[in-house]
Amino acid sequence: MRHLATTVGGLVLLLILLATLGLSLRWLQIQLFYEPLGGERSAEKLAYLDRVRETFSGPTREADAERPPNVVIVLFDDLGWGDLSSYGNQLIRTPRIDQAAAEGLRMTNFYSASPVCTPSRAALLTGRYPVRSHTHNFVFFAESSPIATLRRMLGQGNELPVDEILIPEVLRAAGYATGMIGKWHLGGIPGHLPNDFGFESYYGVLTSNDMQPLHLYRDREIEIRDETERLVLGAFRDEDADIEMKGVDQRTLTRRYTDEAIRFIEENRDRPFFLYLAHTFPHVPHFADPEHAGESEGGIYGDVVEDLDRSTGALLDAIDRLGLAGDTLVLITSDNGADYNGSPGFLRGRKGDVQEGGQRVPMIARWPGHIRAGGVTGKMAMNIDLFPTLLGLAGVALPSDREIDGRDMSSLFIDPDSASSPHAELFYFPVLRGGRPVAVRNDRYKYHVSTGDTGRDKPILVDVHRDQENHNLIRLLPLEGAALAKSLASFGAELDENPRGWR
Amino acid sequence: MRHLATTVGGLVLLLILLATLGLSLRWLQIQLFYEPLGGERSAEKLAYLDRVRETFSGPTREADAERPPNVVIVLFDDLGWGDLSSYGNQLIRTPRIDQAAAEGLRMTNFYSASPVCTPSRAALLTGRYPVRSHTHNFVFFAESSPIATLRRMLGQGNELPVDEILIPEVLRAAGYATGMIGKWHLGGIPGHLPNDFGFESYYGVLTSNDMQPLHLYRDREIEIRDETERLVLGAFRDEDADIEMKGVDQRTLTRRYTDEAIRFIEENRDRPFFLYLAHTFPHVPHFADPEHAGESEGGIYGDVVEDLDRSTGALLDAIDRLGLAGDTLVLITSDNGADYNGSPGFLRGRKGDVQEGGQRVPMIARWPGHIRAGGVTGKMAMNIDLFPTLLGLAGVALPSDREIDGRDMSSLFIDPDSASSPHAELFYFPVLRGGRPVAVRNDRYKYHVSTGDTGRDKPILVDVHRDQENHNLIRLLPLEGAALAKSLASFGAELDENPRGWR
């Protein structure tokens, strides 16, 4: 008996010691020699941007009648498919966003490329599924958080590779003024900040507002330092705004962003501009503008969303006041589906899930004179489509050295009734180990390898339009299931072979 | 080092040994001396039933113009709020149930008293919240399953206490013919079978169809023995019908039940009857009638539900054919919300959850000449209300020695537009440790102690009608929240004091 006890106890201790030693060595290695991911295609990227720069002589509004449109992307953080009144919310009132929808196109089958922040934002800006930019494992953490180091230890990285090509880099090369305001979430080390990826100006926070520290940056400098006491993991999750913060007053963030956005537009009114306004809210924790707090019937979450609605209204008013409405494509969307306290509408799943509620998000496109007022389309598209669409509108050819998964969706904007979806199929990647897609949909059906529910570790085929991912049709429609399963397997194998999509 | 290892290993071994010893003793004790729960109030129960028997001389249809209505309860197993076409399903077609709804009343805020089978059924038959009948811990298991013994070891019991008073016992004493067909799930030992609780006849299976063994009983005798090889825990969970069963062919169950139900009605046409038809489906695993398999657009789940629809249609046809329509109150409902493969409609949560999708279920009441055709009501009621309602219709006084949590809802059946909900508040009990309610709703708001979601281990107040339990209004409406919190705490304290509700 004593001998057995010694063996059991000894083995346990040995394993703990070995693991600790291995992790310590890896930690030391990262601290001393860490090389941020992704310099492989830097040369090709620079050559491409040079070519774009050569082609464009910086068109100005006065000189060139064919000037490309200004583009404003308003990206909300964790806003769910059902959080806007135009998408069915009965408690929260969003009259200004609804008005933009009435003046333009409202899409009911638009997707973020991931059910969480970092990969979705990488996809939006690069036009590629998250695995291409090595952002397919959950989200990035603040540099000082131990999780940032842990991510690097696990080979997941904590910053966007420098050889990725982003919309602002291309549009800047094509003569656009480029500005970003708000949440970046694609890296916090020099060389990986917004100003390093084509944004001429930046104002905002580098991470989600539940992460610490939450410094407010202007370009590369901290404008307001966050001195809040640190939690162990450097992140908290609570919808209530009871945290004593010693940094930027989060209640002022939406207003600050809005003022900066309007200033950016005013300053750049005479040349094509690209503004990426990536709001901090309605991500938890919630901080509402004190001037309107308590007004929404949707509680503090509603207050926060209604702040965003007022912000969007102010932005649109500025565009209209400057006479830029007909020259400016405004896109309003979200980075992923509703978190626990937002509304996915009638969709199944939430933030973090590959079910529809995790990735289907509002998308409103307003461009008076180009996009017909009052249109609604259920044709599917994804935020990876913005890269080719915006480059197309600017008259820039896509880079040829890499796979761009997105497709030009401008015809859907212009003629939603006749144009088809730019995709035959869209793929869904899980939050963890997201290197391979686990679901795929076409216009009518969605195939899941497994939803992970009890009793559902098996293939599932669902009707996307007539059912909310409840009833499994795989036995009824084996051919439809097999076709989608084949696409999924084949794209998975392609990604295993060449995850970054180099050509 | 060696000394530390010895201590660690030794302690681990000691703990394992002690636990094993304790469990073995308890197991032995249960095998030798187990006393089924609940003889405390047997005398009072018998006295009450004697009084009912004395009052009624067995009215017959011919003799008594004021004869009470026949009652048929059609109870589905795990049918979700969104599984019927009359409740919005777009794939599954349920024309016969929809027709019953069109001929009677459709309720949109009707609840099961629990998000799982056993406690819900106990509540339906006793008119009391599950904790009253000590059925508040998950579900009962087949006697031969080790989980049945485990339940007893944990003091949870595995059978309905004999001193509970059930609808069939009272109605039988009042002169009704009483029959049960289908799934019992309230105990598998002699003294706790359907025939022991007032059903003159019984035909069906004692547990859910994922539990082993699944013998088919006629009264107390096994008619078809299940010889299927046993799994370790005596239960499987899979929606597909790929299991090689050596017992009753589950594909025939719905049809067998239907034939028996029609026979029961035919045989008892001349006296008041109470039929409790508790279907086995659409609980997993799924077995569809081969004659119609593959017909539903909702896949195998749809096939199973459409079988149930045909069954209900055949039953209603028999009632009509026998000229009993105006004398028969037919109630169609479910024991809890949708499982992973059913539809909760647009509600949040599923089977097992105290969110609406776990407990809000269809309820259709048809009684031509008494219930107006085509009515729909959103006023809330619960399956605990059936006990006092049916006793009221039969002219029987409630027992006075115990709390009956249900309320007579007949005025809601008769005049849904003018009548109020029979409850100011309804309480929700969790599946595990369900002795205390964790949520309460009134006509407009629902208060949760905590929904258990990430970031939601705190009080939550939601608008039941205008939001699907997403947006927390507790800070916006502190008084409404406090009032419901007070009710919840006060009822919880009352239950702690007197769980069985003895007076």
Q: Which residues of B touch A7 (CB under 8 A)?
A: 9
Instruction: Evaluate if residue B318 carries a pLDDT over 80.
Output: yes
Q: Across the interface, which of A6, A302, A476 has its CB nearest the CB of B2?
A: A6
Residue with tokens 């830029």: A324
Burial class (CB within 10 angstroms; exposed 0-12, middle 13-18, buried 19+) of B98: middle
SS3 call for B218: strand
Tell me how many residue pairs between chain A and chain B have CB atoms under 8 A apart. Answer: 170
C-alpha dihedral (B47, B52, B53, B55), degrees to nearest 10: 130
Burial class (CB within 10 angstroms; exposed 0-12, middle 13-18, buried 19+) of A216: buried
Q: What pLDDT is recorded for position A144?
A: 86
Q: Across the interface, which of A2, A339, A343 has its CB nearest the CB of B468?
A: A343
- pTM (2 d.p.): 0.93
**Percent of chain B surpassing pLDDT 90:** 81
Instruction: Evaluate if residue B61 carries a pLDDT over 70.
Output: no
Higher pLDDT, B233 or A8: A8
Q: What angle do CA B386, B388, B392 make, to 5 degrees?
A: 110
Q: What pLDDT is recorded for position B154?
A: 87
- For the record, the structure tokens of B56 come out as 């009624």
CA atoms of A352 and A337, how far apart (whole Å)? 8
Q: Across the interface, which of B238, B299, B470 has its CB nearest the CB of A473?
A: B299
* pLDDT tens series, chain A, 503 aa: 567 777 888 888 889 888 888 888 888 887 777 777 778 899 999 999 999 999 997 554 445 557 899 999 999 999 999 999 999 999 999 999 999 999 999 999 999 999 999 999 999 999 999 999 999 999 999 988 888 988 988 889 999 999 999 999 999 999 999 999 999 999 999 999 999 999 999 999 999 999 999 999 999 999 999 998 887 766 666 777 566 789 999 999 999 999 999 999 999 999 999 999 999 999 999 999 999 999 999 999 999 999 999 999 999 999 999 999 999 999 999 999 999 999 999 999 999 999 999 999 999 999 999 999 999 999 999 999 999 999 999 999 999 999 999 999 999 999 999 999 999 999 999 998 889 999 999 999 999 998 777 677 889 999 999 999 999 999 999 999 999 999 999 999 999 999 999 99
- For the record, the structure tokens of A59 come out as 């068109």
Q: What pLDDT is recorded for position B241?
A: 56
Q: What pLDDT is recorded for position A242?
A: 66
SS3 call for B272: coil
Q: How is A186-241 classified by DSSP, letter by letter?
A: S--STTSSGGGGT-SEEEE-SS-TTBS--PEEETTEEEE---PPPPTTSB---SS-
Whether a cis peptide bond, with omega within 30° of 0, leads into B285 is: yes
Mutation for A interface: B8, B208, B444, B471, most A CBs within 10 A:
B471
Q: What pLDDT is recorded for position A60?
A: 47
CA atoms of B265 and B337, how far apart (whole Å)? 29
Inspect the interface and report whether the beta carbons of A454 and B237 lie closer than 8 Å: yes
| CA nearest neighbour of A406 among A203, A177, A110 | A110
Please state the ipTM of this predicted complex: 0.92
Catalytic residue positions of B? 117, 185
Q: Which residues of A touch B91 (CB under 8 A)?
A: 463, 466-467, 471
- Indicate if the alpha-carbon torsion angle B234, B239, B242, B245 is positive or negative: positive
Q: Which residues of B touch A473 (CB under 8 A)?
A: 297-299
Residue with tokens 């009652």: B71
CA atoms of A19 and A14, how far apart (whole Å)? 9
Q: Which residues of B touch A467 (CB under 8 A)?
A: 89-91, 298, 343
CA atoms of A481 and A475, how far apart (whole Å)? 8
CB B9 within 8 A of CB A8: yes
Task: Tell me the pLDDT tens digit for each residue of B78-124.
Answer: 999 999 999 999 999 999 999 999 999 999 999 999 999 999 999 99
Q: Taking each helix axis as running N to C, give the angle between helix B299-321 and helix B253-267, from 0 to 180 degrees, rounded to the nearest 10.
A: 10
How many CB atoms are closer than 10 A to CB B372? 16
Q: Which residues of B touch A6 (CB under 8 A)?
A: 2, 5-6, 9
Give the mean model confidence (pLDDT) for residues B471-489. Answer: 97
CB B462 within 8 A of CB B472: yes
CB A296 within 8 A of CB A93: yes
**Percent of chain B surpassing pLDDT 70:** 96
Q: What pLDDT is recorded for position B62?
A: 45
**Of A345-359, B33-47, B293-307, B482-496, minimum mean pLDDT range:** B33-47
| Confidence band, pLDDT 50/70/90 cuts, at residue B60 | very low
Shortest Cα–Cα distance, B399 to chain A (Å): 41
Q: What pLDDT is recorded for position B43?
A: 95
Q: What pLDDT is recorded for position A302?
A: 98
B345 — phi, psi (to 5°)?
A: 65, -135
Residue with tokens 């080092």: B1
Mutation for B interface: A469, A471, A477, most B CBs within 10 A:
A471
Catalytic residue positions of A? 117, 185
Distance set, CA B158 to CA A219, A315, B22, B150, B270 (Å): 66, 64, 21, 9, 37
Element (H, E) at B429: none
Q: What pLDDT is recorded for position A58?
A: 52
Q: What pLDDT is recorded for position B192?
A: 95
Higher pLDDT, B233 or B24: B24
